[in-house]
Structure 1
Amino acid sequence: MSAPYLCPNCKSNRTRFNIIEQHVKPVKLNPQTGDIVEEFDQSNLEPFHLAYKGPTYKVQCGACGLVEEEISFIKRAEFSN
């Protein structure tokens, strides 16, 4: 988060953003009720439970509300110069 941003949607916002930190919580749900049956740690997942491999952070434009991966905002700023 030490690079300039430019919103790829509204193409005008360079200063107002929300940084969204994602915390992964692997769970097993009851298929009928949706209640959490079991919580897992990333290191002890069941064989058919894939580990989350997405971004740690997402960014929301403070002007138009677009939510994307941080790289989208960085690349838009790089190409606008």
Structure 2
Amino acid sequence: MSTPYLCPNCKTNRSRFNIIEQHVKSVKLNPQTGDLIEELEQASLDPFHVAYNGPQYKVQCGVCGLIEEELTFIKRAQLKQ
């Protein structure tokens, strides 16, 4: 997070952002009721459960509210230097 950001939507915000840290929780739900059946550990997922491989952080523009991956904000700042 020591890289400049620029919002790709409003194209003016370079300083006001919300950093959203994502914490993965793998679960198995009852298909009829939606109740939690089991909380799964990342190391012991069954063969039919794909492990999360998305970004650790997302960024929200503090001006327009856009939420995207951090790399999107970094790349926009690099293009407009």
Query: TM-score, normalised to structure 1's length?
Result: 0.99
With structure 2 as the length reference, what TM-score do the two structures score? 0.99
Deviation at 1:28, TM superposition (A): 0.3
The CA RMSD measured in Å over matched residues stands at: 0.4
- 1:69 and 2:69 matched: yes
For 1:79, the aligned partner's letter is L
CA distance in 2, matches of 1:46, 1:38: 12
Structure 1 segments, 4+ long, off by >4 Å, are: none
Percent identity over paired residues: 73
Q: Give how far 1:74 is off.
A: 0.3
Q: Which residue in the other structure is 1:48 paired with? A: 48
Q: Secondary structure of 2:73's partner?
A: helix
- Return 5+ residue gaps in structure 1 as ranges: none
**Partner of residue 11, structure 1:** 11
Shift of 1:65: 0.2
Q: Distance in 2 between matches of 1:70 and 1:15?
A: 14
Q: Which runs of 5+ in 2 are unaligned?
A: none
- State the alpha-carbon separation in 1 of the partners of residues 39 and 63 from structure 2: 37
In structure 2, distance between residues paired with 1:6 and 1:46: 40
Aligned position for 1:20: 20
Take 1:35 and 1:57, find their aligned partners in 2: how far apart are those partners? 28
